[in-house]
Amino acid sequence: MTTTSHASTKTPIIAIRNLQKSFGTNQVLTDINLDVVKGEVVCVIGPSGSGKSTMLRCINTLETPTGGSIVVDGMDMTDLDLDIDAARTRIGMVFQSFNLFAHLTVRENLTIAQTKVLRRSKAEANKVAEANLAKVGLSEKMEAKPGSLSGGQQQRVAIARALSMDPDVMLFDEPTSALDPETVGDVLQVMRNLAEAGMTMVVVTHEMEFARQVADRVVFMDGGVVVEAGPAKDVIGNPQEQRTKDFLSRVLHPGQLG
């Protein structure tokens, strides 16, 4: 929350311009514009169906945009000549449902893309894997199979897996939404550490407290457009738009009518 002013001065590491996405005739994103500078943590909030996950998945083109442009680290993600696989190695992604490779151990989950995609040696890949697993506090689970871990542990391994590629940017797609309440804290703590270490992060989340404390900027999306964006204390603490106010009153005071 301290670093909001440099957004305008530095060139953005993620630049989204006029992004549009439709599935058939269903227009999910109408016109998204968003810049993220290096080291910034941006939390994207909004009601379900607002297009925030789709926007995130467009950044590494897991969903192909139907219009507009996305530039990440100087790479035009919509350029058909771009080596999309190489580009994706620089964009880490964490999913709501973890998506750890179920047939591999934690060690193999953390090393397989390092050795097969980045062509690192086994020894180097293992070193990186061990360092990142320590970062998420699960060093003792190196040889475990994902199925034997709790949801929170799986998500922390998934974060370590993404970090092992040494990405420039990390995307989080509702990382705590599929977790038991008591394991949410561990995952958020890992993300907090990551933010403090200077990682550029775009986080789609429903955790308002996390957004308030960690985000440099909060983006509120609804109906496929960015309704309001700004410092967390403004967007969450003092929203200007009626739609933002309605949404926040629903999530911050669930159970109350109106």
Q: Least CB distance from residue 248 to another protein, whole Å? A: 30
Q: How far is the CB of 241 from another protein (least distance, A)?
A: 32
Taking alpha carbons only, the member of 88, 72, 92 closest to residue 135 is 92
Judged by beta carbon, residue 133 or residue 162, the one nearer another protein is 162
Q: Which is nearer to another protein, 60 or 244 (CB)?
A: 60
Report in angstroms how near the CB of residue 153 gets to another protein at its nearest: 11
Closest-CA residue to 167 (of 86, 77, 54, 112): 86
Distance CA 135, CA 142 (A): 13
Residue number with CB closer to another protein (194 or 218): 194
Closer to another protein by Cβ: residue 15 or 110: 110
Tokens for 227? 């309704």
Interface contacts to another protein, rule CB under 8 A? 60, 62, 85-89, 91-93, 95, 97-103, 112-113, 116-118, 145-149, 154, 158, 161-162, 165, 178
The Cα–Cα gap between 68 and 20 comes to 6
Q: Is 81 exposed, middle or buried (0-12, 13-18, 19+ CB in 10 A)?
A: exposed
Q: How many CB atoms are closer than 10 A to CB 158?
A: 25
Query: For another protein, which is the closer residue by CB, 93 or 218?
Result: 93
How many helices and strands, by DSSP H and E, does the chain display? 9, 10
* Of 3 and 126, CB closest to another protein: 126
Minimum gap (Å) between residue 191 Cβ and another protein: 17
Q: Closest distance between another protein and the C-beta of residue 133, in Å?
A: 16
CA distance 167 to 147: 26
Cα 136 to chain centroid distance, Å, stands at 16
State the Cα–Cα distance between residues 180 and 148, nearest whole angstrom: 15
Q: From CA 232, how far away is CA 215, in angstroms rounded?
A: 6
Find the shortest distance in angstroms from Cβ 9 to another protein.
30
Minimum CB–partner distance for residue 31 and another protein (Å): 25
Residue with smaller CB distance to another protein, 84 or 251: 84
Sequence-distant (≥ 6) Cβ neighbours of residue 125 within 8 angstroms: 110, 111, 114, 115, 164
